[in-house]
Amino acid sequence: MDSIYLGNSGLRVPKYILGTVPFSGTNGFDAAGNIDEKTARRMVDMSLEAGINMFDTANLYSKGDAERVLGAAIKGRRDELLLTSKTGFPLGENPNARGASRSNILTSIDQSLERLGTDYLDLYFVHLWDGQTPVEETVETMTSLVKSGKIRHWGVSNYSGWALARTFTVAEQSGFIPPITQQIYYTPEAREAEYELLPAGSELGIGSMIWSPLGEGLLNGKIGRNKQAPSNTRQGAGWPEPWVQNQERLYQVIDALEEVAVNHNASVPQIAYAWVRDRPNVGPIVIAARNEEQLKENIASFEIQLTQEEHDRIESVARPVAIYPNWHRAMNSFDMGSTSEKTYLAGYKQSMGIDD
């Protein structure tokens, strides 16, 4: 497994990270999986053997129970691995137990550390943008956690481009420690992150970590034009996310993935992982599995190398619409674009029928 630097930091992380949404499966997360401590321990073993030494969780997942299961699975080998967690989603009736406020962050970190059985996290995320809390309060609090040793680095998740830039700028100009990564949703079907988030991350030195490259189960190979999601999967068990812009567009993506999968004697999820992994501006990706067999298959996708033709086949069917100012820039000032965005601008030109 390759390791890469995460954003503009000295932290090296594996290209694949194991996510823990399926751990526990309690408190409303039963559709995501029900991995117990024994199976989780085996999954940690398999991951470490493959060179995946980073594990991603959140206090939201099973409302803390996923952290507890992960904590039990890593007991006695904390120094072998990297841990992340997140806070921000409301978990109860307490109006201060939510968002990116000092109160919530300081309370949440202590609770997560206790559940995980550790005294520090390698990476701690604000799980969602909190437009009601001053950015200065958030970045100062995260900086204090780094300086106290409770966390090594911090990041943000599910931010818009302007919120990401504002957070980074406030931290840097105020002498605080800026985030080193953003965790964002990006799949062969959901490509909105190409408009701003992916190039912004590269320009700011903020690594882009991808959550749910399989579209929260949409690209699990069990869904298609004539295939309904089985009841033992997230999408078949009433999972509310993600929002799909166009069902036909989703099927076209699945068709392309299936075609390429045949070429490699691989599965649809393996091809989806390989495609997202190799996209420009993409850092590590968070993989997940409901059982050991799935985990083995997902890890094996790291060895799949797509041809340029195969990559383009998948890319072309779900290329984002060239919304303003992208169509204007692709038409009139392509050569003035940043390196981080030229791949996307070139795609817009192709969609618009503009010759070089």
Contact 71, 117 (CB under 8 A): yes
β-pairing, 16-19 vs 54-56, is: parallel
Encoded tokens for 205: 């030195």
**φ, ψ dihedrals at 310, nearest 5°:** -65, -40
Query: How far apart (Å, rounded) are the C-alpha atoms in residues 113 and 151?
Result: 10
Which residue do the tokens 């024994």 mark? Answer: 38
Buried b (16+ CB within 10 A) or exposed e, 192-210: ebbbbbbbbbbebebbbbb
Q: What is the DSSP string of 221-249?
A: SS-BTTBPPPTTSTGGGT------S-HHH
Instruction: Indicate if 185 belongs to the active site.
Output: no
Nearest residue to 185 (alpha-carbon basis) of 216, 148, 143: 216
Alpha helices in 63-217 (DSSP H): 65-73, 102-116, 135-148, 161-173, 197-204
Catalytic residue among 5, 16, 61, 251: 61
Which amino acids are annotated catalytic?
61
